[in-house]
Structure 1
Amino acid sequence: MHAQFSRTSSSFGTGRHMTGSNTLELALAPFADPATEVRVLSISQTTEMFSFVRKGGEFSGRAIHQDGEIWIEHKGQQKQRLASFLASADMANLDDLARVQGRIYDREQPISEWVAGPALVEQTQHENSLSALEEVAARMPDRTRIVVLDGPAGMGKTTLVKKLASQQARDFIERRRTSLMLIVSSRGRRLSRLNDAIAATLQDLRVGIFYPEVPILVKHGLLTLVIDGFDELVNQDGYDDAWYSLTELLDSIAGGGVLILSSRDTFFSDQEFILRAQRQDALWQGRIDFSFVHLQPWLRPQVREFFRLQGVPEEKAEVALDFFSDTRASALVRPFFAHRLAAEIRNSQNVEPDRLLFLITEGFLTREAELLLKDHPSGREVLRRFFQELALEMRQQEREVLDLDVIQFFLDAVLEEAGIPHEQRKQLVHRAGAVAFLDIPEGNRQRRGFPHQIIRDFFFSEYLLSALTTDWRRLEAALQLGVLGLDLADIIAEIAGSLRTPVERARIQALFSLAKSLPPADPAALNAASLGFALLRTRTTGDASRILADGLYLGNVSLVGAEVPLLELSGCSVGFLDLSDSNATNIQTKNTTVMRLRVSASTILGTEWHSIPSAVEYFDGDYGKGLSTNRQPDEIQSILSSLGADQIETKSKRHASAGEALLDALARRWVRRFYLWPDDLDDEPAFSDPLWPRLRSILEKHDRLVAKFQPTSGPRRELLHLKDPNSLLRRRHPDPAQQLVIDEIWTAAKSL
């Protein structure tokens, strides 16, 4: 006989491959009390005795190795497989977890009413994303399966995994399956604290499972671990850090189990991810399998039918559906936004198609102000400030929910600042948990959160823009919080673009100067620069001299569809720069490194563009469709030259006349917005150009301009839509008849 005596750490790294004689010890070690040891005594070639301390009591039994499996005898009970023993009431007690999950998800009405949309799995279209995910996430013998579930915000990723978790919990209780899902919400946390995120999830569930036990339960197929919001765990080092920070967890489960990474599709590049994963997989001897499930947007008929079922009048639905056709509005062709939007436009008097996100937020604010602060002249702005403060606090605490008493504190402070009397404040604070935009998370009535992250980001963006013009110290403090990614930058650009007053270029310059004055590792440096670039996508005013971005280290930068003002990038390092559909002739680069550049056929570069990226992503069509990645130097140089870099002659012909320049500028605006308001000269100054009436006649003559009138409480307002602005910008169309029309339009514009 030989007694094997050891102690295993309760961290994720409990051993790379749990095979051979140490399998039993490594499986039991996470369940032993801290600072205690698992004793394994071999009494024959196939039988071992084990003992350890769990919850203060002595735990012992016998393990039998038979037909490649380990069977456990314990407390005189019938022999059971090791996995069944780990799931039992004496160990992880997964029955308790299933019951708790069932209670939580049964309370969430949107889950029970949720309908699965389409999904793309390994280039194969599936009509039902729920069944597709369940099929792909099936466990593989002796391999760890990683499933990347991606899709835009609001597409239903979180709801999908909750629906599947609810279904599996019910099946587990009814003994129709032997595994459960554990959803770890990573929103607001960093990957270096993934252990904390798992521990916090288990603590919120109040079940008797601790985070050191999770990897072994995943490895044995008892838990499917879901990291919801994987892209939000990234720090300023970006994609590399996000992947490699998972390796410790993968070390513990390599060779078994399923891991689902839920993320925005803007974060994942399938090809890049697979290349990195395959390199890492070599360390695990090919024991990792990868699959991608892409959630797909609803189609126009599906959205129309949904609006009909929700009682949205046909004329309002058509305006929204027209807006949905705009690539810039694709964020709203999703279950979350469709639900919210239908509720808002069903009874609203006015529908502004290019302000649908604003309609959701402003409609909520107006309704709540009438209910809570009816007699206050600035009730809506008071509530706006309240939500901005909550968004800031969530950002600061790296949490997506706040305790109810914290929310009450902020409401009381904002109401007091607004001069609300004490007694009225007391009543309103008591109702803080019932204010619109604040939902009860997973049945926890003592906490509240925004219904979706994009709503939180909307109010945080408003906070930043307010501080930009009123309180620079508040702005600097807010820029220290988290990472200002592309999704948040998009919202900032949209909000800033809706303001009546253009952004002063001096403030953008001040942001770049602030970024340069701080250490590159300081989050405020990266965020100040990101904010500056977001504002470059909007209308600017002030000194026409060149804006200087000097010596900045940038992660992801988007200038999609922008008419970029005079800008010099000097000594900068940019990880990813998106210039799709942009007029970037005013950008000058000096000693600047761009790792990855995304451009479209309608992108215009200038003679002062001198940076040669390591990779260029190019597409010719709707945004992101048909994207090709080019890495060969000659291919990169060819693309850049075709867009005007160091060879401006081809592109300069587009701006040989004022008429061409006006058509180019308006077409870029229509790429970003389905409708424009010709009477809103503050929003679109180009309509005040004396050449506009003649250009309009040209577009109408060729049947490229569609006019609609939006009923309002006052005079009717005209909405204008340009058909297929992308083909106009690219000056080509596969249909010869349409190509002839495009040529005629540009010729006519040139003669204006």
Structure 2
Amino acid sequence: MLSGIKLAKKWTASLDPVIVGWREFAERLLNEFSRNIHDGKGFKAIRDELSHGTPIPVEDASAAAICTALREFSEIVGQHIETQVSKFCYAATPTSIRLSCGADNQEVAPLWDFNAAQGVIGIYSTFDTDGVYYLCPSIGAYRNQRPENTAAFRTTFLSKDPTEKHFGQFVFEITRDIAGFCEDHSPPPYDFGEGEHAGVIFVTWTQASSQGNTHRTDMFRRGQDNRYEWFDVSANTWIGFSSFLRKIANWTLLARRVRIELDEQERRKQVAEMGTSQPTGGMKITAVLVEEAETPDDSSPVQVTPINLQARADNSCQPSKNFTTVYFVVGDAGMGKTDYLLTLARARAHAVETNPTVESPLYLFVSSTGRALSNLDDAINTSLSITHILNNHSAKVLCRNGLLVLIVDGFDELLGSSGYDNPLGSLEGWFKDLRGRGVMIASARSSYYMTRYRRSLSETTDLNVEHTVADIQPWTPEDTTAFLHSYGVPATALTDLSARDWRLLTIPFFAKAFATWSTTSRSNGEEPTGVFQIVVEQYLSRESTKIADQNNAPILSKLELQTLFSEFAEMMHIEGKRELEQSDLELCASAALGFNDIDKERPGLRRRLTSLCGLSVGEMVAGDSKFGFSHEVIFDCFLSLSLQRRCAAGVEMTYVNNVFSKAAINTAVIEWFVAANVNVAQSVLDILRPAGGTSSIWKKNVGALWTALLNHSGGMPPTLAASELEFQTVELSMGRGKQLTMRGAKIDQLKISRDAPIIDIKETSIKYLTVDEASTLSLLRGVAPEMIQKMQAPGSYCDTTASVRTVLEEAGVIAKQASAATLEWLDTANYFIESLVSRPDAPIVVMHDNLEPDSERLGWATRLGLAKWTQFLNRLTQCKLASWEPLVAKKQPKKRLVFHVSPAEISRRNSSIPGIADFWNS
């Protein structure tokens, strides 16, 4: 304000009426201000007294005099403004404002803005990535989000990208981050410095802590290379903003409290898996993680290099990067994901606690395994309660600035069954708050969950997120043998194990359970009946000791306890949660054991039920105590036993349909069910398949049952009708001469051998098709090239619609097109759109000039050639299905593709959405 008025006063007189008018106004304003407030003081001195001094005197008379002078000054200024503005005329539309003064006519939009909804005009206040902000006296600040308005402002008024150079972005980010540590989490007020403090902002705020609130004022500036800096008064020097955040977060104490909590979680995990809190002997097998391969190919294995997740996560904690980075650690239950991530977090907390100068980020471990909380924020607040320093808001600040890596263990279990319908929902809020920065690590049990997550991503339009999926590998037979020997398991104990048992023993949880059983139960003369049964037996033996009568005798037999646990697992599955309240436990006990009065028939049972399962922290969130199994594998074991028990005497249609419809069932549950009694499992499939469920969960569960029976029979289809189901991996190797119908299905990976039946796959989408020889393709019926993403046959590999079409034509599976040239655009568009739908976890970032992808993660984008990739991108923007967003880059300028219509909608060719029909028409 001061610099503008001083500049206007210095303007030389000319014939331009605007210059003359504003010069007169500036002179009058400065004169009236000095004359009416404190005679003899300059403008800046008076402004400084009012802003930083004590402007209201103690004496009433002096205070009244100042108020009167201010009021008179305001009236005079108002008269001057009215006189000046009365010379102007304007004409406004939603996209234009033209001012005129005599012959002078100027376009002032988008510096000024006409808000048609409110009927007011605003003047520019701030530019941000989400739009241009304007101020209007009658309605305050408002935002214009129209892309054309933002683009016009950027082009006309900004010489460089605002996210790199604009001071307003700096102020916004500093105040937003400090808000995370404020008592009410609202952005604090700030002042701009002048003179020697030019370019400095003074932020006055209240820091909330366990010792009480602290009122403070801090100074911030942008230093060399636009580094955000804080003035450390104690050291009388400017230091990095991250040091400020570490100081207010009490970094060393925070690391200590995080480490203490992680030690306690490790102790609880030790009790759950080994039955004792005392450290056990034996070696520790280091987990191996492999980045998810873009093309699964079992026929020609390639050497894969394990990834160092900690190093990758640390390197991703760069505040200047453009995307939030998410690492998904996937693997079946019991693979050691929790142990691996917990060890990662403990090691880092210990390192920071012992050496506060370590620049590496803390890892915040949030366990949602087995819990059903309302959202991710609840889980984080619960995990942070032990620190008495951080909460959900301040954790986001540290994560956004690369000081904290959020680890969400068991993310797919966080929301119970509802998480499978919208797996992205709980993370989306965090993604938006992180605004393209920060690092997160999440673990999930199944590839099905990742498929659902990616499907949710493909339905969204604007998330700055980059994903990496890391598969945790099972132990090798050598690792398993070495581990068991280190626990004292003799070689003779391993000779009678079946091939299925050995496959289970490559899963760490089962190996630990077998080692524990071998050192306890086996010493009593018990012989193994299979690893699955050993795990159940061990759990029952340990839990039975927790519920005894006054004579220290077990209240329940092992068989009764197994029945009770099966009832628990069934209720959890039906209710879509992994925790039960005490009333639920009592209900299950009455139903499973056939008791009308628990207290009368088994005295002490009701009171001791809560001792059976591990007490969760659910009461800290909802106010009620909730109980669940100590490990997800145990839940799977007893759910499988529940299925076996319920169907042993006969298969009831209502029951099995309810079980297969309520929530997603882990593949292992169904495999154990099939292995226990294949005939009963076949009867369940024969009842379920004609029912024709419509939900994705039902289709996935029934598809898993069909696949388990297929694998059990060595590749012979259990039924010749499998339409409208969802499958992961289907390997067909038997059934020559028959015809299998799989219409309208979804298959992740389909492998066909020469002795397989004829397969009708009309309207079935296949992500990856493998055949043992080219002639095997002749077994396909109703095939459409655009429904197959990738295909491999001996001597050929296809990853585009056009190449799939060519191979199918040469094999005689489909007829050759007479005018193949007309299909070129459709094949090109279909390839790119389907690639985007299946790879929504890689942002589309290209070089500004030639649209070439900026990283190897988009290697698939140029397989058809840069010309077709450019044609595809231009078509998207021309049809207004997407637009470009410039990005900050140190070297060559880049830009990111922002979808206005999700790739999934474009793939569906939804003609009701403007632009989609035009896009597909060549």
Normalised TM-score (structure 1): 0.64
> Quick one: distance in 1 between partners of 2:254 and 2:543?
42
State the shift of 1:466 in Å.
4.7
Would you say the 8 A contact 1:116–1:160 is kept in 2? no
Change (3 A) 1:530 1:504: closer
> Quick one: distance in 1 between partners of 2:697 and 2:340?
35
Q: Is structure 2 residue 497 aligned with structure 1 residue 497? A: no
State the shift of 1:40 in Å.
1.8
State the shift of 1:225 in Å.
0.8
Aligned partner letter, 1:117: T
Change (3 A) 1:303 1:607: closer
Q: Is structure 2 residue 317 aligned with structure 1 residue 136? A: no
Change (3 A) 1:380 1:608: farther
> Quick one: distance in 2 between partners of 1:149 and 1:7?
44
Aligned partner letter, 2:336: G
User: Which of 357, 366, 374 is the aligned partner of 1:184?
Assistant: 366
> Quick one: distance in 1 between partners of 2:456 and 2:592?
51
Would you say the 8 A contact 1:440–1:447 is kept in 2? yes
State the shift of 1:338 in Å.
0.8
Would you say the 8 A contact 1:561–1:580 is kept in 2? yes
* Secondary structure of residue in 2 paired with 1:426: coil
Would you say the 8 A contact 1:145–1:259 is kept in 2? yes
Counterpart position of 1:572 = 744
Q: Is structure 2 residue 174 aligned with structure 1 residue 24? A: yes
Counterpart position of 1:167 = 347
Counterpart position of 2:492 = 315
User: Which of 523, 531, 554 is the aligned partner of 1:356?
Assistant: 531
Q: Is structure 2 residue 699 aligned with structure 1 residue 526? A: yes
Would you say the 8 A contact 1:619–1:627 is kept in 2? yes
Counterpart position of 1:514 = 691
Aligned partner letter, 1:357: F
Change (3 A) 1:378 1:189: closer
State the shift of 1:171 in Å.
2.3
User: Which of 48, 56, 65 is the aligned partner of 2:201?
Assistant: 48
State the shift of 1:100 in Å.
4.5
Change (3 A) 1:309 1:156: same
Number of aligned residues? 605
Change (3 A) 1:43 1:29: same
- Highest RCO, 1 vs 2 (Cα 8 Å, sep ≥ 6): 1
Q: Which string of whole-angstrom CA distances, capped at 9 and with x for unpartnered residues, describes residues 198-230 of structure 1?
A: 345445x47443323332210112211113234
Counterpart position of 1:394 = 572
Which residues of 2 match residues 464-479 of structure 1 at below 5 A?
Answer: 464=643, 466-467=645-646, 469=650, 471-479=652-660
State the shift of 1:633 in Å.
6.0
Which residues of 2 match residues 245-644 of structure 1 at below 5 A?
Answer: 246=427, 248-253=429-434, 256-264=437-445, 266=447, 284=464, 293-320=470-497, 323=499, 330-346=503-519, 347-348=521-522, 355-362=530-537, 364-365=539-540, 379-395=557-573, 399-402=577-580, 405=582, 408-410=585-587, 412-414=589-591, 417=594, 422=599, 425-435=602-612, 438-439=613-614, 448-464=627-643, 466-467=645-646, 469=650, 471-484=652-665, 488-499=666-677, 501-503=679-681, 505=683, 507-516=684-693, 520=694, 522=695, 525-526=698-699, 529-530=702-703, 533=706, 536-537=709-710, 548-549=721-722, 552=724, 554-560=725-731, 569=741, 571-576=743-748, 578-579=750-751, 584-585=756-757, 588-589=759-760, 591-597=762-768, 599=770, 601=772, 607=779, 609-612=781-784, 613-616=787-790, 630-632=799-801
Change (3 A) 1:589 1:215: same
Would you say the 8 A contact 2:366–2:408 is kept in 1? yes
* Secondary structure of residue in 2 paired with 1:595: strand
> Quick one: distance in 1 between partners of 2:415 and 2:796?
24
Change (3 A) 1:558 1:637: farther
Change (3 A) 1:81 1:146: same
- Cα root mean square deviation, aligned: 5.5
> Quick one: distance in 2 between partners of 1:564 and 1:211?
56
221-230 or 574-583: bigger deviation: 574-583
State the shift of 1:387 in Å.
1.4
Normalised TM-score (structure 2): 0.54
Q: Which string of whole-angstrom CA distances, capped at 9 and with x for unpartnered residues, describes residues 613-644 of structure 1?
A: 41356699xxxxx99775556658869999x9
> Quick one: distance in 2 between partners of 1:228 and 1:39?
38
Unaligned segments of structure 2, at least 5 residues: 3-50, 52-124, 127-139, 143-161, 272-278, 292-301, 815-922
Change (3 A) 1:524 1:361: same
Q: Which string of whole-angstrom CA distances, capped at 9 and with x for unpartnered residues, describes residues 336-355 of structure 1?
A: 211101222454457668x4
Change (3 A) 1:260 1:418: same
State the shift of 1:310 in Å.
1.9
State the shift of 1:41 in Å.
1.4
Change (3 A) 1:368 1:169: closer
Change (3 A) 1:392 1:637: farther
> Quick one: distance in 1 between partners of 2:416 and 2:269?
34
> Quick one: distance in 1 between partners of 2:672 and 2:801?
35
> Quick one: distance in 2 between partners of 1:430 and 1:604?
64
Q: Which string of whole-angstrom CA distances, capped at 9 and with x for unpartnered residues, describes residues 334-380 of structure 1?
A: 32211101222454457668x42233224544776799799999944
Counterpart position of 2:400 = 219
Between structure 1 and structure 2, the one with the greater Rg is: 2
> Quick one: distance in 2 between partners of 1:376 and 1:564?
52
Change (3 A) 1:78 1:209: farther
Q: Is structure 2 residue 354 aligned with structure 1 residue 154? A: no
Change (3 A) 1:16 1:213: farther
Q: Which string of whole-angstrom CA distances, capped at 9 and with x for unpartnered residues, describes residues 376-406 of structure 1?
A: 9994443223212322343456554556x35
Aligned partner letter, 1:220: N
State the shift of 1:572 in Å.
2.1
Aligned partner letter, 1:574: K
Change (3 A) 1:447 1:545: closer
